[in-house]
Chains A and B, each alone.
Chain A
């Protein structure tokens, strides 16, 4: 087998050193009952060309561009990925290394993570970012758990109903039965932003944190500053969760608006959508909460000769030291994906990320204008949005179905996620959509 080098000759030589006559002798100490039933009943191994053929036919049984034109976002976003990103993450020295336990021979990985942490902290406008979480949804759940660690006496978590339903679901799963907490949903107001009256009514001395989408699932830009002000007044922490990371290139950062912990899904930063994974969870917080933070951290230091170098640090928060008293159980995170995001952000740079974000705004608003002009539908919510918007369309589901038959996916039928939002489609338009595709959407 091409991945296993041992020849009969190798095996014989090794067995001779071991003083046993067959490889079977190495397993005789196992219970014979287990051994006798252990055979694996699967087809025999394939050659590389057979694998390629099989996977090709499986891949071709999926509908992607150009066959299908999709206006789906809602947690996974199509953006152009510069060629350099994939080349760098295919370098075997990055792809086949592991946790940098021996930092002297892992400076490549460690410095890249340090750069990642720096970029993420800047984007969020917060003091410190970790080396990544699995995805935006689990990062949000971990942020809520962290808020509970910081304020252990408080037992209520407020979650915006307009936070992506999968993110809300994961928060429930992570918290259920673990802590004495009550998760309370805060509705959106008429303009699509969080209902401030409802929020103020729910806030009190027993609320640990308020978790909102920024932008929310409808692409609406929340008024984080006001939310933070009222939350702070009640002594509660603010957690923002961003599903479309490109928005952070344009919008005011969660940190400058008063958020305490900010998370995001980083897939938009040079990572292929890949049917929803792997992505990368971005996570940052204020300095004073550092010891409560989950995830790995890379810090700067010096070696014996005074050279600058990087190491994993503050590991006393983590599972391999603290075990059951760790801030999280996370071990393997999303290292190579974080590297891809780092390369992407370096290519975009100071100006490029801003330009990318602006183009997402202009394209999506152009689409909105066309739909309104064509009297196809009207904008469901009046508050400003980034690159996703909800549009009210008569018989939305039937329209969606008809378009699907023409290989046009008109986003998400919102009623599937929010029964109260009938006849509403959630459309996402990015810089990758062409004018003709948008015009086609409006026409059809």
Chain B
């Protein structure tokens, strides 16, 4: 078995950094000043200055190192174990990307330096734009958005700008019930009313149903393909044609692009705009919640509205230009999460066309293999060919009193991070599993074995699930209490 539960390990119970240290301890020493001494009160009057930072820690450098090293050891991560969160694409994060992003020529580069001082950076961005366009079949790219959700916001603003310029006062956006929450949230942030389109009984949108919902007040459809059930939207081309026939546009959520590389291009499916999640398909690390990057790709129809500044080329030279009067403007400071863009670029160089296409093939193979190993025991949400992720419901164990949550917690005891649970909302007690292509067959077998063992435990030993996790640094946490009596910061007692 993968996990040895006989040997116990002491949990190093590291307190908050504020509970460590001692008055007067320092973690950093300043060099001697090289300018003549001066009192700052002449420059910045005392009346403008604060009292001391009372609730800041006073710790030594080694205390800081030990503190955060211990904290890190409490985490599961993609580097530790399989982290099969659906639609998150927790693939291997290449270390060479970390090295090159830290080159001083990138890390120390100030964004306001004149263009002729930053031609290396601009060339990199231009090459990245080209590669993203080629993978997706879109015509133009903006690398500015800082994350997928900001990419979605940008995309919806592009659509809004298009309709506004053409004099259409369209107010509605169609979104399937299976969509990621950021889709309706982004549409609402643009002032749209969200209309939910029901998914068909096979788990996919069907053109006839979409057609019923489309009218002259619909600005766009937001669609994910493959969708959050891991299923390729089989009528996607017909659906996008219907939207276009009514003068509406199509936003494609590119979170699941890992299933499409070399297989089908969003630009050929009728997408007018798509966001890329570089921290998913393109291997940049998830960081415990970012930073990511959410570039958008558009068809020519939306190109005039792309955020400024835009990268332009004058012969052999690159430059930033704001000369795009129909642009929606800026969505963030400077040019984007440049450090993340460097990592994605290095990844695309490493993979090349052959590697990217193989990534999709093996991602889909892995998901199907897991599905096959599990589908006799767990209830598949839909008996359709899946792509890079598969979704199970709680039907096979609903009668036992065990919940999806319990299975997720028990998986932690087997040394795995749990898949996404309770999403998509259209599936009862959903378990959404995305292994990615960087997992080996052995790991998949261990994971499947663990889930099969847990299925037996549901019958033979349900309390093991109810009490799980048993081997993690903390047991189940009281989330109700956290919400009812929020304690959101440390306070000196």
Contacts and interface: CB of A to CB of B under 8 A. Distances in A.
A82 B48 CA distance: 28
Nearest to A82: B28
Given A45-B351, A75-B334, A311-B479, A95 B385 contact: no
A381 interface: no
Give the bracket for the number of chain B residues in contact with chain A: 35 or more
B28 A63 contact: no
Interface in A1-45: 1, 3-6, 10-11, 13-15, 17-18, 23, 26-27, 29-31, 33-35, 37-45
A52 B474 CA distance: 42
A119 interface: yes
A354 interface: yes
Question: What secondary structure prevails in chain B residues at the interface with A?
Answer: loop
A59 B65 contact: no
A105 B412 contact: yes
28 contacts: A3-B350, A15-B365, A29-B234, A35-B264, A42-B353, A45-B354, A58-B121, A84-B27, A84-B65, A87-B65, A91-B69, A98-B88, A102-B417, A104-B475, A105-B412, A106-B76, A113-B288, A117-B488, A174-B189, A273-B108, A274-B107, A275-B106, A307-B474, A322-B185, A326-B188, A329-B150, A329-B182, A349-B28
Contacts, number: 679
Given A3-B350, A92-B80, A167-B333, A323 B184 contact: yes
Contacts of B264: 30-31, 34-35, 38
Contacts of A54: 349
A332 B333 contact: no
Interface in B51-97: 52-59, 61, 64-65, 67-69, 71-80, 83, 85, 88, 90-94, 96
Interface in A114-165: 114-115, 117-119, 121-123, 125, 127-129, 131-132, 134-138, 145, 164
Contact of A276 (B74, B334, B355, B409): B334
Contacts of A11: 365
Given A6-B362, A45-B350, A335-B291, A361 B44 contact: yes
B48 A274 contact: no
A26 B103 CA distance: 41
Contacts of A326: 181, 185, 188
Interface in A321-358: 321-326, 328-337, 339, 343, 345-356, 358
A95 B265 contact: no
B191 interface: yes
Contacts of B334: 75-76, 166, 275-277
Contacts of B187: 324
Contacts of A256: 50
A37 B103 CA distance: 38
Given A6-B362, A51-B350, A134 B108 contact: no
B440 A5 contact: yes
A164 B268 CA distance: 41
A173 B307 CA distance: 9
A97 interface: yes
Nearest to A178: B191
Given A45-B354, A251-B49, A98 B288 contact: yes
Contacts of B287: 94-95, 97, 334-337, 339
A170 B474 contact: no
Nearest to A409: B113
A311 B485 CA distance: 13
A114 B146 contact: no
Contacts of A99: 286, 288-289
A138 B332 contact: yes
A96 interface: yes
Interface residues of A, number: 198
A246 B440 CA distance: 46
A278 B76 contact: no
B359 to A, nearest CB: 6
Given A34-B265, A100-B288, A311 B482 contact: yes
Question: Which of B56, B289, B483: most chain A Cβ within 10 A?
Answer: B289
A277 B335 contact: yes
B173 to A, nearest CB: 9
Given A6-B362, A102-B408, A350-B52, A97 B353 contact: no
A305 interface: yes
A104 B75 contact: no
A354 B53 contact: yes
A55 interface: yes
A333 B290 contact: yes
B205 interface: no
Interface in B431-446: 437-441
Contacts of B91: 3
Contacts of A298: 488
Contact of B181 (A62, A309, A323): A323
A40 to B, nearest CB: 4
B99 interface: yes
Contact of A84 (B61, B350, B420, B483): B61
B478 A301 contact: yes
B167 interface: no
A101 B85 contact: yes
Given A46-B352, A59-B104, A366 B71 contact: no
Give the interface centre of A3, A14, A431 by most chain B CB atoms within 10 Å: A3
Given A84-B65, A313-B483, A412-B112, A250 B49 contact: yes
Given A61-B119, A75-B334, A324 B185 contact: yes
A76 B182 contact: no
Contact of A76 (B88, B92, B110, B489): B110
Contact of A97 (B76, B236, B420, B441): B76
A398 interface: no
B44 A97 contact: no
B286 A96 contact: yes
B353 A296 contact: no
Interface in B160-202: 160, 164, 180-182, 184-191, 194
Contacts of A302: 477-478, 481
A299 interface: yes
A60 B342 CA distance: 14
Contact of B58 (A18, A112, A349, A438): A349
A221 B46 CA distance: 13
B304 interface: no
B423 interface: yes
Nearest to B100: A55
B330 A170 contact: yes
A282 interface: no
A303 B477 contact: yes
B237 to A, nearest CB: 6
